[in-house]
Structure 1
Amino acid sequence: MCFNLDSLSYDGKELSVSVFKNDSTDFAFYVLLAGKKIDAKWYSGDPVSKLEIYLLPKKIYSLRLFFRPSSEETKEEEKIVKRIFFKVDEFNVTSVIPEINIFESENIKITNYSQGSNITFVTFNSAHTDKTSAPFGGDFILSEGWNLISIHKHNRNQYQDLSLELFESYVKPLITDKKVYVYGTSLGGYSSLYFGGVINATIIAGSPMLPVHPMINHSHYKDIIYKHIPIKETIKTSKPVFVIYDPLENGDVNFIKKYVASAYPTAYFLPVKGGTHLVMETLIKKRLLKDVIRDLVNHDSFSAINRITVAIDS
């Protein structure tokens, strides 16, 4: 039995969700905006469920579906979870942004969300995620009307089961004639630097770090085999490289100096004093991140640095 969305409609007051499921299964759903739950509908045995909710046009919403056997005693691991991105227009017509799974193995998953844009973002999820996690930056990227290719790793794998050759073979055919940006933070930032060159993308990396790297040798990942070659030995992009980091975070600075700057000595380094390793979250709290990313899409590092400096010093 296929448990999934059948149809989605909105009349300006109610969101109607219809699903494929069997009679012995209940379903519930959350509606999220910018990754935050704004409302929810509890489990129902009916294949159609409605929620009174106000939706803004042109915003990207995430619909999270939960399927479970018809029992209050259902364990969390027994539930089936599906995530769907959608938007409504000024006439309340709903549009689901299709998720196409282009590659999946035990530890790696690559999904594609196309909106017909000439701009495509390739994003890497961070360390504490798995194949079911939301795409990094997905809500914002899709809200801008851009395409998204999301790279997921499973559990503690650190993308060590994703080779440069595999990444290139699945991603490169999807970005022909597109302006391409590779984006991530921490593990995702490191991965953006590592993989971005083989598709000649503009790279936006926040606090790049690879815990399984021999320099760090983090005890939590001691059973994970380090398979990557040094970044300086990878194919380099001819496009701009932007590294956003906290110059007061010694661990990040040391890693950047030894492994990032040696690979990309002409990169643009954007300091965020006091941003900590979670520098992207700091920029979100300061309500800066979206505008900074828009600046960097326009290759305007001056405006991005000025925006950050003014906000941090004020």
Structure 2
Amino acid sequence: MSFSLDKISYDGVSLTVTVFQEELTDFAFYVLLAGKKLDTKWYSLDTTSSLDISLLVGKTYSLILFFRPNAEKTIEEEKVVKKFFFKVNEDHSTKVFSNNILFESENFKITEYDQGSDITFVTFNSAHTDKTSSPFGGDFILSEGWNLISVQKDNRNQYQDLNLDLFESVVKPKIIGKRTYIYGTSLGGYSSIYYGGIIDATIIAGAPMLSLISKRNHPRYRDIQYKHIPIKDTKKTSEPVFIIYDPLVGGDINFIKKNVLPAYPLAHFIPVKKGTHLVMKTLIEKKILKDIIRDLVRHNSFDAINRIAIAMEQ
């Protein structure tokens, strides 16, 4: 069976989604901004379905399509889910970002969104996500006009089946001649540090953590095999390394001291007091994360630190 998106149109009032689908199939869709659901359109047997919704020019939205091959008789496991990014232009025309799956296995997937930019972001999703989750930072990165290579994992696997050689062989040919940044938080932050050197990228890591080694005796992780090598034994990047963290979170500090400092003793450490382990979420709530990432793209940690200090005092 084949189910896919045909086109998206927007007239300033209604978002219209047209799909290719087989007979007896119906579809529904969600619209999200920055990972938050804005509205939902219920299932329709028609190939075209519309939703009245207010969308902002220049923002990148997520569209999640749900297909039911046998309409209401379809059980949950038979639903087909497809995700797309799209943006609304000044004239209300829409741009759907094409995606190219560079590699996929049972435990991880690497997807490219190429806009022809000279800047490429490689991002890693955090724990409690899976291969169907939205790419970390995807809507912001694409809204900036940058390219995105998203690395997503199976819910239980902590990128342990993604070895450095495979990652390099898949990603490196896509970033030749590009200014490259590798970005994530928590597990995604650890992964950015672990894989960043092999592609010589600028590393932006929020509260890096690999619970598999920091909580070896926790029942949740006993059945997951640790296959990585220590970060200090990986190839090191020649570009800056930025670590955003809360200096009051003992577990994060211990992980940084034991696993990050031996590899990158000259990294730029950017403290966010009372940011918690969810430091990137805190910066989102303070409405400064986007500006901080823009600062770090310019390798300007000074402005980023000042921006954080002012925001956290308010």
TM-score grouping bracket, smaller chain normalisation? over 0.9
Question: Structure 1 residue 77: deviation in Å?
Answer: 2.4
Identity fraction in percent = 68
1:19 equivalent to 2:19? Answer yes
Superimposed CA distance per residue, residues 248-284 of structure 1 (whole angstroms, 9 cap, x where no aligned partner):
1101100101110111000011111111111111111
Contact 1:202 1:241 in 2 (8 A): yes
Question: Structure 1 residue 214: deviation in Å?
Answer: 6.2
Output the CA distance in 1 between the equivalents of 2:76 and 2:62: 20
Output the CA distance in 1 between the equivalents of 2:203 and 2:55: 33
Contact 1:211 1:217 in 2 (8 A): no
Output the CA distance in 2 between the equivalents of 1:56 and 1:258: 45
Unmatched segments (≥5 aa) in structure 1? none
Contact 2:24 2:71 in 1 (8 A): no
Output the CA distance in 2 between the equivalents of 1:17 and 1:240: 43
Output the CA distance in 1 between the equivalents of 2:97 and 2:218: 38
- In structure 2, what residue type is equivalent to 1:205? A
Determine helix, strand or coil for the equivalent of 2:120.
strand
Match of 2:187 in 1: 187
Contact 1:3 1:21 in 2 (8 A): yes
Output the CA distance in 1 between the equivalents of 2:95 and 2:310: 39
Query: Structure 1 214/90 Cα, relative in aligned 2: closer, same or farther at 3 Å?
Result: closer
Superimposed CA distance per residue, residues 5-29 of structure 1 (whole angstroms, 9 cap, x where no aligned partner):
0122222222221111111211001
Match of 2:106 in 1: 106
Match of 1:255 in 2: 255
Question: Structure 1 residue 53: deviation in Å?
Answer: 2.2
Contact 1:12 1:92 in 2 (8 A): yes
Determine helix, strand or coil for the equivalent of 1:213.
helix
**What is the root-mean-square deviation in Å for CA atoms of aligned residues?**
1.3
Question: Structure 1 residue 57: deviation in Å?
Answer: 1.6
Superimposed CA distance per residue, residues 209-249 of structure 1 (whole angstroms, 9 cap, x where no aligned partner):
11112664432111111000000000000100000111111
1:24-39 → structure 2 map (5 Å cutoff): 24-39=24-39
- In structure 2, what residue type is equivalent to 1:19? V
Match of 2:76 in 1: 76
Match of 2:89 in 1: 89
- In structure 2, what residue type is equivalent to 1:107? N
Contact 1:138 1:148 in 2 (8 A): yes
1:157 equivalent to 2:125? Answer no
Q: Normalization by structure 1: what TM-score?
A: 0.97
1:107-122 → structure 2 map (5 Å cutoff): 107-122=107-122
- In structure 2, what residue type is equivalent to 1:54? S
- In structure 2, what residue type is equivalent to 1:154? D
